[in-house]
Structure 1
Amino acid sequence: MKPLTTLVAVLVLFVFIISFSLSQANAEQEIDSKNLSGLESTHSPQLESEKKALPEFKSEDKNQRPLSHTKFSSLQVPFIKNEGQVDDIVYYANTFAGTVFVTKGGLTYSIPTENLKAADMQFDLEKNSGLSAPISVAVIREEFVTTKNLQPSPHQRSKTAVNYFAGKEENWRTNISTFDSVDLGEVFPNVDVRLKAHGNNVEKIFEVKPGGNPDYIRMAFEGINGLGVSDTGKLLIETDLGTISMSKPVAYQYIDGVKRLIDVSYEVGSNSYGFLVNEYDPNVPLVIDPLLASTFVGGSSQEIGIFISLDSSGNVFVTGQTTSSDFPTTSAVYDENQNNNRDVFVSKISNDLSGLSASTFLGGTNFDTASSLSLDSADNVFVTGRTGSSDFPTTTNAYDQILDDFREGYVSKLSNDLSTLSASTFLGGSSSETGRSLSLDSADNVFVTGETLSSDFPTTAGSFDQNYGGRGDVFVSKLSNDLSTLSSSTFIGGSEFEFGLSLFLDSTNNVFVTGRTTSFSFPTTAGSFDQNYGGSGDVFVSKLSNDLSTLSSSTFIGGSRNERGSSVSLDSADNVFVVGGTSSSDFPTTSGSFDQNHGGSFDVFVSKLSNDLSTLSASTFLGGSSSETGRSLSLDSADNVFVTGQTVSSNFPTTAGA
């Protein structure tokens, strides 16, 4: 029985999901990933069947579950009534992929994506630093070509609780009114329109009543370069960032209680579209239902909240960043990093994935991002990331309530229902920091890792290293559960750049950190697997005592070129698993592993080390002939290893039935 020898199942979407078997007995276990197909919510499978695809994860392993975009695409997202928090609009919906604003003049979509041209130029930067590609935002306005005035009104109050912890406490808003849909009324003669928002799309439902005519329907865009129709009938909306698709329309009538599908297609002009409808019964209401999908065709869309945890009842918590609710004033493409147009969101989803229970937005007047989420034993929710907002919400008695630089780490604690910001603190020095990963020990102390450029980043007496080592160091910090006390804090680094990207604790509360180093002098320990820096950037894995006073063991993993460790986790025997990316054909693999041959310019690696980091027990490549990178890793209750990441290889290894 050889570890990391079997590829059990894999699904390639925007991310891939794999499972490695640790024994022959588990090799026959397949993930029911058929339910993950389809990205457009109206036409995707029922969520009840989708939950069968969720493996059973160990209760102590709460960080960053592998869960696909598709599970969120069908999730209904509420519309929020403007109660003073946003100017110039009536309703808006913050989906996981962008924001739609409903005004009396039409609809405005604010859709973020990686700037593909910039991403190409900065591919090396991403590999070298662990930073994501630049984010840009496409702002598109869609108008109803009609003489009628829109009269948006809410329909069916939503059960989703929405809260805003934005800026100072006097500006915080909780339990904002939300609705499942918005009626626009009779927009065209005898044609009513209703809007629904879902996980990654917006649905416009046109109802042509008797006496109406689908030919009356005409929609026009601002902020686009052109329109077209694909071979599969999708509407293609050309923008400076790429092509956004609108799903092939569906039309139907209920005749004698039976749903009858009607042939329908798009009819397009240079910047407007309508519908060509085949024969139908004009005496019965006709429904036409297209979706605006958030996906950019031919390029990578911005990842939605990929930082996922479960509470003790199995509810799913997601965090990430979204375009802020500030209404964009122009129809254009802009650089989100320059326009500071990001807020953190934290969402709670029912354990059967059927409903969005609550969604909270966290931020200030500048950019705010989230990198990691975890829960304590009482199911309170902790989030870390970075902020450039001096008015990022902090709480009385928090460890640090003052932003020292334009970019600083933060840690925030929310109640399980997301209605209360229980504690929130900055974490940083006089230069720049990012909180990358967060976890809690058995006593509910909070551990955070990331990177800092501050020589005065707060460290504590007796910690492993209180001296800033170079051009950028890893930090590991331990805070009390109420975030009032920095119990211990240390640097880890050499004379060059380091990035702390993931943190996890073993069963005895030792702290494991992985990331990337470019320092020959990065601290390693005697007896560790590899004490020699191998290339232009290596993975590191370091083990610290719970009080951060001792570097118990530390090792490089790498070949002669570039590596990055993205995620670390442990199995039930406290073996250490690391995933990331490598461009080294001589990256260390082990005999009998799944793939010992480097396949492309950048491959995923998955490696297993002993708890003392002295032995590389198993190690494999995973990839096709182009580029891949591994983003996150987790283990289920049977110690199968699940990896998520990105691939652009058409021959990335997949399995039958996936």
Structure 2
Amino acid sequence: MRKSIGWFLFIFLPLVSMAQMGHDHRFIENKGQWDSSIRFKTAIPGGHLELHSNKFIHKISNEQSLAHLHQLTSGRRDLEVVSESISFQFIGTNPSPKISFEGPSIENYNYYLGKDRSVWATGVKAYSAITYHDLYEGVDLVYYYDKGILKYDLIIHPGADPSCIKYRYDGNVNLNFEDGCITAQSRISTITENRPITYQVQHGQRILIRSGYKLNNNEISFVLGDYDPTQPVVIDPELIFSTFSGSVSDNFGYTACFDDEGSLYSGGIVFGNNFPSTNGTTFSGGTDIAILKYDSTGSQLEYATFIGGSSQDTPHSLIVNNNNELVILGTTGSVNYPVTPNAYDTTYNGGEPFSIFFTNPYNQGSDIVLTKLGPTGNLLASTFIGGSENDGILKLLDQVTPVNNLIRNYGDYMRGDVIVDEHDNIFVASSTESTDFPVTSAIQSTYGGGVSDAIVFSLSSDLNTLRWSSFLGGENEDAAYSIKIDTTETVYVAGGTRSPNYPTTPNALLPNHNGNTDGFITRLDLVGDSILQSTFLGTTSYDQAYFIDIDETQAIFAFGQTTGNYPITPGIYNNPNSSQFIHKLTRNLDSTLFSTVFGAGNPSPNISPTAFLANECGNLFLSGWGGVTNNFGPYNNSYTYGMPITENAMFPTTDGSDFYLMVLSADGTELLYATYYGSSGPEGDHVDGGTSRFDKRGIIYQSVCSCNGSQDDFPTTPDAWSSVNRGVNSNGTERCNNAAFKFDLASLKARFITSKEDSTDIGYNSDCIPFTVRFTNTSLGGEEYLWTINGETRDQETFLYTFTETGTYEVTLTVTDKNTCQTIDQTNGFVYAHDDQTSIIEDITICRGTQQVIQAFGGALYEWEPITGLSNPNIGNPLASPDTTTTYKVYIITPNGCDFEEEMTVYVVNETVEDFEVIRTKSCDGLPEYLFTNHTESDATFQWDLGDGTFSSQSEFGYQYEAPGSYEVSLTIDTLCVVDKTIELSFEEIFVPNVFTPNNDGINDLFVINTDLAIDLKVFDRNGKSLYEQDNYQNNWAGDDLSNDTYYYAITLSDGDVCNGWVQILR
């Protein structure tokens, strides 16, 4: 059977006002719950710090004297509790600085401390930092926490004068200045201010500034070295608190319950902070009730409510009614415990002074209190109930030695139970020493005698009316610990008695007292005016019934302790010679259905009972603790060594001081489950009294007092609101803090997860064949697991299965667990095997700077990598334009959810630029000749196209066209990414004469060049002397006066080519 820790958390309740529980330390705002001069409070070692407008008061006590003495083996002597107030007073400040705050808490806090309603406060917030703006002109003061350490900074803004900052310590303290540090020494504490760290921040870096303290006539100021006056300066002193009491206050766990949403309500005590204002005075101290509500996961505190007066206040039992309101059964020694105006009893009744060793004395005795809170923790109703002697607590004589011999376990003095009926009427089982305890419609209207009587009573839901009340007791000690109502609306009460004449009925199972201490179960009618049945339970030795419950058949179950030869029914599970009993009786309490004992086979009980349940199918659930805390004084010297543990226990070993959880089958024949639960520290895990509860599903909501400080290894869950026990003294000794856990012992819910083979990708159940799925059982509960898949069965917790054929496969997990009411649960899921196909185009080559579509096929979703050069990496056909050759992978998810990977490469080729040259080598006197030259840098083959049908593959060659005209010349290179080049050659055939006769006979008198081209003409003699020159020659040169001779010309064509030749003049 796999069991589930719903969650576990430490509930850290610091002394200041119980608001920094588990999370970062906070500053609590004052909404009227404290003196109006106080703006905020925060916890410090041994006490708290009050933040006023311009002063700060450290209130400290030697509160370790209030701590648990679990480790003691003999009685404790009275310890003096000393309180002191040390004021940290700034001098010459702004009397009303602006105060801002940041980091408000999500949860709200409610305070009902004392009877004065004007100082009750609800919806109080806590903050992470407080800033006093312009405490001095240009100087801010910031209080905050850094890694759990209280800090303050003085921020000096540009232009402000740091020499104005002065403060002093007021109170019975001696100031010393040594080695650069200030110490304020009192009777019980030392406050040390180490040399301050002073700095400026420049360009993101801390620049340290020399600084120190100056002490002059008990006034402290700061001395600073050189710094940049245009930038802020931060003075950061370091405070060290050293007290007798330690870092945080003890707070103890008592009781827990649940609501229909699975929320956990935890009840405990915190040591109060109502210190006197004078210094060095001894005072009685006090505890307050702390109620905290957590959500069903334990990750969020929904509210915290604190209730109490000036003395001791303790919760014993909690229950949530049908309106989601919390009913608290407790006791108080406070005259000013908060009660509501129309309550049944608004006056404290009190009793004789007495002490319980882990609290201060009840100087005015005790009363029972009932308090009801609304869904947000707001106070709805509250009342006293009691007589003129002590009520609700079994007394100790000298803080260890019991006055009441029913006390056999640590915390027994703080038992009792509260329940509600379908109309939310309230029913209580407890004890009283008051002969005048209020009774009405009583079965037993007078006190029976002895140190205490059991008391049972019923109040209206609004706590305004006592519906009925009765003593139950005889001539010796009697106490009631547990109360239940059956389906016929009769009331069952159980407890312990030493009275031979405790009221029983003739036909009861055991109508006569067996001697020593016996347990009892008494059945009453719903109006409390008659006993229907009543029986003793036990042996001739010690026996007590701490819890009862009723199953669906209305059979009655009792869970208790024995040191006698308690009867064992044949065939019933048992551990012989053990000292815890379970007894199943008929509803009329006249016969045994079965009874048994369990434990380590010791003559002394192993555990002190804390919770008990008969669930919907009759299985029995119980919780208890044992160990070092129960091993001194009158207690049972119990340890948890050797308790029966099942193979599937979550925690199969113990250090002797743990909780023990157990489940027994409905017929009592089989131990279904048993485990230890706790830490390994020397102080042990326990509760300080009170009741915890199972819900009907078998989930326990258990309150814990854990005392191993920061070294505590009590099992916690990752998302718990707090997983750290902060209860450690500054001197290293361990302290105690309230904790709670929620543990599912009986739910059965078949669940499994699928994943890939390496356990990644939770939920993986669809792919293309072949593929492998890991199946992992995550069921809640279960002893046996059977998987069916594709006609095959498996019984492992986790296994791999490979799918090789397409199809839809149903997977079924069947879980069985006889510990649960349903015994079997089943769930199923599906795996989808596909044969999808994907593909991708072949590799391509592109020219640098160009783009081309690349494409994959067959997918519903695509993801290309790398994304460089892609127009869209999440489509099947992106445009690709990488700068360099790139291999692209594409991850493809098909419409059926299959994953594929394809790959292709885009090769990138650089451009080849054609480079060739055509030069005219013969231009005049006929058709021109050209020289063709290829200068392209490429090893590729090439071919010339001369435009007249002539082709060539020579790198350089000459060519003369056969006819004048225009010809397009190009070069073709056999490679990609070529930048083409084409030129056009245009020419005509030119005829230049080599003689002309300028003799004015009208024949050949002019130098006529036969062309339609625009040309320029220059004529030179043999020596190169220019004789004639004309642009755009018009065939009009007649030789001028030149003599017969040979002359030289230069004809420049329109394309820039020059034709050179000679001509003769003959006259």
Cα distance in 1 for residues equivalent to 2:466 and 2:339: 15
Contact between 2:140 and 2:154, CA under 8 Å: does it hold in 1?
A: yes
Could you tell me which of 372, 375, 382 is aligned with 1:416?
375
- Name the structure 2 match of 1:385: 330
- Name the structure 1 match of 2:548: 543
Contact between 2:369 and 2:383, CA under 8 Å: does it hold in 1?
A: yes
State the AA in 2 paired with 1:394: V
- Name the structure 2 match of 1:579: 625
Could you tell me which of 518, 522, 527 is aligned with 1:522?
518
Q: What's the secondary structure of 1:89's corresponding residue?
A: coil
- Name the structure 2 match of 1:628: 684
Shift of 1:208: 4.1
Contact between 2:26 and 2:42, CA under 8 Å: does it hold in 1?
A: no
TM-score between the two structures when normalised by the length of structure 1: 0.63
CA, structure 1 residues 389+590, in 2 after alignment: closer, same or farther (shift >3 Å)?
Answer: closer
Cα distance in 2 for residues equivalent to 1:501 and 1:300: 33
> 1:126-275 to 2 correspondence within 5 Å?
136=81, 138-144=83-89, 146-148=91-93, 151=96, 153-155=98-100, 171=118, 180=127, 183-187=131-135, 190-195=138-143, 204-210=152-158, 220=169, 222=171
State the AA in 1 paired with 2:37: I
Cα distance in 1 for residues equivalent to 2:429 and 2:176: 46
Q: What's the secondary structure of 1:433's corresponding residue?
A: coil
Contact between 2:325 and 2:373, CA under 8 Å: does it hold in 1?
A: yes
Q: Which moved more, 1:328-337 or 1:306-315?
A: 306-315
Q: Deviations over 1:382-404 (max 9, x none)?
A: 33323344454433553333332
Asked whether 1:398 is paired with 2:357, we answer no
Contact between 2:175 and 2:182, CA under 8 Å: does it hold in 1?
A: no
State the AA in 2 paired with 1:453: E
Cα distance in 2 for residues equivalent to 1:400 and 1:199: 47
Shift of 1:235: 11
Matched-pair identity in % = 20
> 1:183-582 to 2 correspondence within 5 Å?
183-187=131-135, 190-195=138-143, 204-210=152-158, 220=169, 222=171, 283-286=231-234, 288=236, 301-303=249-251, 328-332=276-280, 334-337=282-285, 344=289, 362-363=307-308, 368-405=313-350, 406=364, 407-419=366-378, 421-434=379-392, 436=414, 439-441=418-420, 443=422, 444-458=424-438, 468=448, 470-473=450-453, 475-487=455-467, 520-524=516-520, 531=539, 533=541, 540-543=545-548, 553=558, 555-557=560-562, 558=579, 565=608, 567-570=610-613, 573-581=619-627, 582=630
Could you tell me which of 29, 41, 44 is aligned with 1:93?
41
Shift of 1:427: 1.9
Cα distance in 1 for residues equivalent to 2:19 and 2:236: 26
Unaligned runs of 5+ residues in structure 1 are 1-22, 41-67
Cα distance in 1 for residues equivalent to 2:419 and 2:391: 20
State the AA in 1 paired with 2:381: A
Q: Which moved more, 1:504-513 or 1:394-403?
A: 504-513
Contact between 2:607 and 2:640, CA under 8 Å: does it hold in 1?
A: no
Q: Deviations over 1:507-544 (max 9, x none)?
A: 9998787899999323257999964645xxx8752327
Q: What's the secondary structure of 1:575's corresponding residue?
A: strand
Cα distance in 2 for residues equivalent to 1:250 and 1:529: 70
Q: What's the secondary structure of 1:141's corresponding residue?
A: strand
Cα distance in 1 for residues equivalent to 2:487 and 2:213: 61
Contact between 1:349 and 1:356, CA under 8 Å: does it hold in 2?
A: yes
Shift of 1:431: 0.6
CA, structure 1 residues 376+238, in 2 after alignment: closer, same or farther (shift >3 Å)?
Answer: farther
TM-score between the two structures when normalised by the length of structure 2: 0.42
Asked whether 1:116 is paired with 2:65, we answer yes
Contact between 1:515 and 1:540, CA under 8 Å: does it hold in 2?
A: yes
CA, structure 1 residues 516+368, in 2 after alignment: closer, same or farther (shift >3 Å)?
Answer: same
Cα distance in 2 for residues equivalent to 1:86 and 1:281: 43
Cα distance in 1 for residues equivalent to 2:638 and 2:132: 58
Asked whether 1:645 is paired with 2:705, we answer yes
Contact between 1:528 and 1:555, CA under 8 Å: does it hold in 2?
A: no
Could you tell me which of 74, 80, 86 is aligned with 2:30?
80
Cα distance in 2 for residues equivalent to 1:265 and 1:336: 44
State the AA in 2 paired with 1:414: L
Unaligned runs of 5+ residues in structure 2 are 351-363, 394-413, 500-514, 522-533, 563-578, 580-601, 632-636, 724-1067
Cα distance in 2 for residues equivalent to 1:352 and 1:247: 43
Cα distance in 1 for residues equivalent to 2:281 and 2:170: 14
Higher normalized helix content (fraction of residues): 1
Contact between 1:155 and 1:179, CA under 8 Å: does it hold in 2?
A: no
Cα distance in 1 for residues equivalent to 2:703 and 2:326: 24
CA, structure 1 residues 629+517, in 2 after alignment: closer, same or farther (shift >3 Å)?
Answer: farther
Cα distance in 1 for residues equivalent to 2:11 and 2:329: 31
Q: What's the secondary structure of 2:387's corresponding residue?
A: coil
Contact between 1:512 and 1:544, CA under 8 Å: does it hold in 2?
A: no
Cα distance in 2 for residues equivalent to 1:306 and 1:278: 56
Aligned length: 582
> 1:582-601 to 2 correspondence within 5 Å?
582-583=630-631, 584=637, 589-592=642-645
Q: Deviations over 1:106-148 (max 9, x none)?
A: 2224456754388659946899xxxx99894643424145443
State the AA in 1 paired with 2:29: F
Cα distance in 2 for residues equivalent to 1:38 and 1:391: 26
Shift of 1:89: 2.5
Contact between 1:514 and 1:568, CA under 8 Å: does it hold in 2?
A: no
Cα distance in 2 for residues equivalent to 1:117 and 1:533: 35
Q: Deviations over 1:324-343 (max 9, x none)?
A: 67673223363334xxx555
Q: Which moved more, 1:466-475 or 1:496-505?
A: 496-505
Contact between 1:76 and 1:198, CA under 8 Å: does it hold in 2?
A: no
State the AA in 1 paired with 2:546: V
Q: What's the secondary structure of 2:22's corresponding residue?
A: helix
CA, structure 1 residues 363+32, in 2 after alignment: closer, same or farther (shift >3 Å)?
Answer: closer
Shift of 1:101: 2.8
- Name the structure 1 match of 2:993: none
CA, structure 1 residues 374+88, in 2 after alignment: closer, same or farther (shift >3 Å)?
Answer: same
Contact between 2:155 and 2:232, CA under 8 Å: does it hold in 1?
A: no
- Name the structure 1 match of 2:56: 107
Contact between 2:28 and 2:124, CA under 8 Å: does it hold in 1?
A: no
Cα distance in 2 for residues equivalent to 1:275 and 1:316: 51
Cα distance in 2 for residues equivalent to 1:493 and 1:272: 67
Contact between 2:90 and 2:168, CA under 8 Å: does it hold in 1?
A: yes
Cα distance in 1 for residues equivalent to 2:187 and 2:69: 15
Q: What's the secondary structure of 1:336's corresponding residue?
A: coil
Q: What's the secondary structure of 2:30's corresponding residue?
A: strand
State the AA in 1 paired with 2:452: G
Cα distance in 2 for residues equivalent to 1:347 and 1:39: 10
Cα distance in 2 for residues equivalent to 1:280 and 1:438: 68
